[in-house]
């Protein structure tokens, strides 16, 4: 076993239920992709004596800030085209729902995605993934939902899997076939849901699906239709997630919680019953401030109620071409604080500890502790709050994924 020592670091472990978990002068030992030990430098000699062999590599970080790798737990990275024209419509007063009902929105991206080659889809998704990785993202979830046919949903999920094999990045893929009604099923939403449920076993058999999602809202699918998708997922042993209560309260969060949902996402219109159901089920509330900002929404998610109920809150980019075309998870930390009034600690936990929970990776990712995957980031920062404080700034110095250095920054604004 090869052991690597990372020493003289300002560690932010996030290992406990509260607080930063700071160790002002700390060290970390990684072995075969996992964290073997983490603690204060004063205790390092005892830890080294317990090893069968001394570290093969030693990295002195000179007091730099070190945190868990960032996790973007809600993205739609695989698609064709863009929707810049809809941005102009939004600025002129059209709503997201208006655009969708007029044939734009998700259906416009479906057409572009179906027309794109596999190579084009992969190239676009890889370019977007690399942008997120440059800011310290080591794990990502990628949803389908822009194919909306058996053939094209499989294509998009295969691209997501390819990214995980091509890049030093952990990728979780989610089948979001119940995202919108494709044109060939116009006026027949129940028939389309029947088709989605029929596709799922094949997608799962090909190893393309880690979870199943749906869009339950007044321009998406009804709770009854969503329930049918969840039943199909349950029959396959797949966990569920839900786009819930973004534009209206359909009771989707409570429905999803009844299936033990990993997460419910958006939640601007979440009511008390939904909060209570999520708390009881242990479902994570995934906050998406990028979409809130881009669509100029005014109704905030019930942050105080979620906090009081002890519902874990994650933060993600929701990268997509229509309502959140951002590729900066650090910017989302800032917006989560500035728009939703999360604390900087809550925001960082939201992109590490709680994001890992939202992907079913809570036991292995998201914090710095012995036994967990050795994914971490070295930052040019003095305090972890700086990661949410700045915007339009990337202080990432080095990314380590599974114990191996993945990236050195292009910026030379700070000495290494």
pLDDT score, position 263: 98
Residue 277 has what pLDDT?
98
Q: At what angle do helices 150-166 and 118-133 cross, to 10 degrees?
A: 40
Q: Which residue has the tokens 């990785």?
A: 133
Q: 48 pLDDT exceeds 80?
A: yes
Q: Sign of dihedral through CA atoms 191, 197, 201, 207?
A: positive
Contacts of 213 (CB under 8 A, 6+ apart): 143, 145, 174, 175, 176, 178, 179, 240, 241, 242, 243
Domains of the chain and CATH, by start: 3-68+368-407 (2.30.40.10), 70-358 (3.20.20.140)
Rg (alpha carbons) of the chain, rounded to whole number: 21
> Could you tell me if 319 and 107 are in contact, meaning their C-beta atoms sit under 8 angstroms apart?
no
% of the chain at pLDDT higher than 90: 89
Residue 95: pLDDT band (50, 70, 90) is: confident
Residue pLDDT, tens place only, 133-184: 999 999 999 999 999 999 999 999 999 999 999 999 999 999 999 999 999 9
Averaged pLDDT of the chain: 95
Q: Are 74 and 288 in contact (CB under 8 A)?
A: yes
Average pLDDT over residues 267-296: 97
Q: Is pLDDT of 412 > 70?
A: no
pLDDT in tens, 195-237: 999 999 999 999 999 999 999 999 999 999 999 999 999 999 9
Query: Average pLDDT, stretch 275-283?
Result: 98
The stretch 16-30 carries a mean pLDDT of: 97
Please report the pLDDT score of residue 1 as a whole number: 67
User: Quick one: how far is CA 376 from the chain centroid?
Assistant: 16
Q: Taking the CA atoms of 143, 148, 154 and 158 in sequence, report the sign of the dihedral they define.
A: negative
Average pLDDT value for residue range 51-55 = 88
Per-residue pLDDT of 293-350, as tens digits, reads: 999 999 999 999 999 999 999 999 999 999 999 999 999 999 999 999 999 999 999 9
> What is the average per-residue pLDDT within 23-49?
96
């Amino acid at each position: 076993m090869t052991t690597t020592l990372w020493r003289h670091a300002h560690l932010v472990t996030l290992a406990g239920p509260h607080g930063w978990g700071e160790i002002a002068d700390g060290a970390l030992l990684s072995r075969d992709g996992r964290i073997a030990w983490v603690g204060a430098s004063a205790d390092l000699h005892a830890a080294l004596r317990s090893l069968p062999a001394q570290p093969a590599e030693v990295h002195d970080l000179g007091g730099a800030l070190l945190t868990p790798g960032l996790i973007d737990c809600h993205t739609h990275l695989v698609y064709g085209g863009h929707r810049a024209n809809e941005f102009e419509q939004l600025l002129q007063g059209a709503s997201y729902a208006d655009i969708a009902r007029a044939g734009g929105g998700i259906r416009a991206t479906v057409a572009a995605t179906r027309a794109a080659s596999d190579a084009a889809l992969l190239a676009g998704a890889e370019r977007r993934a690399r942008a997120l990785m440059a800011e310290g993202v080591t794990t990502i979830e990628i949803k389908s939902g822009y194919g909306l046919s058996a053939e094209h949903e499989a294509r998009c999920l295969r691209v997501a899997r390819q990214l995980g094999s091509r890049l030093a990045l952990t990728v979780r893929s989610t089948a979001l076939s119940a995202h919108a009604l494709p044109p060939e099923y116009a006026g027949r939403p129940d028939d389309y849901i029947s088709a989605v449920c029929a596709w799922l076993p094949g997608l799962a058999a090909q190893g393309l699906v880690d979870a199943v999602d749906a869009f339950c809202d007044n321009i998406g699918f009804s709770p009854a239709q969503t329930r049918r998708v969840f039943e199909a997922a349950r029959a396959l042993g797949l966990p569920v997630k839900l786009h819930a209560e973004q534009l209206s309260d359909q009771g989707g969060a409570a429905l999803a919680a009844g299936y033990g949902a990993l997460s419910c996402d958006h939640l601007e219109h979440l009511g008390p019953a939904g909060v209570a159901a999520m708390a009881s089920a242990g479902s994570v509330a995934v906050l998406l401030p990028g979409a809130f900002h881009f669509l100029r929404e005014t109704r905030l998610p019930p942050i105080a109620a979620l906090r009081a109920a002890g519902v874990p809150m994650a933060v993600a980019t929701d990268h997509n071409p229509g309502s959140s075309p951002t590729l900066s998870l650090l910017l989302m930390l800032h917006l989560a604080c500035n728009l939703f009034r999360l604390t900087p600690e809550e925001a960082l936990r939201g992109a590490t500890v709680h994001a890992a929970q939202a992907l079913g990776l809570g036991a292995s990712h998201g914090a710095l502790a012995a036994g967990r995957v050795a994914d971490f980031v070295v930052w040019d920062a003095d305090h972890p709050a700086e990661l949410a404080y700045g915007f339009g700034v990337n202080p990432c110095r080095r990314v380590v994924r599974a114990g191996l250095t993945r990236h050195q920054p292009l910026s030379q604004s700070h000495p290494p």
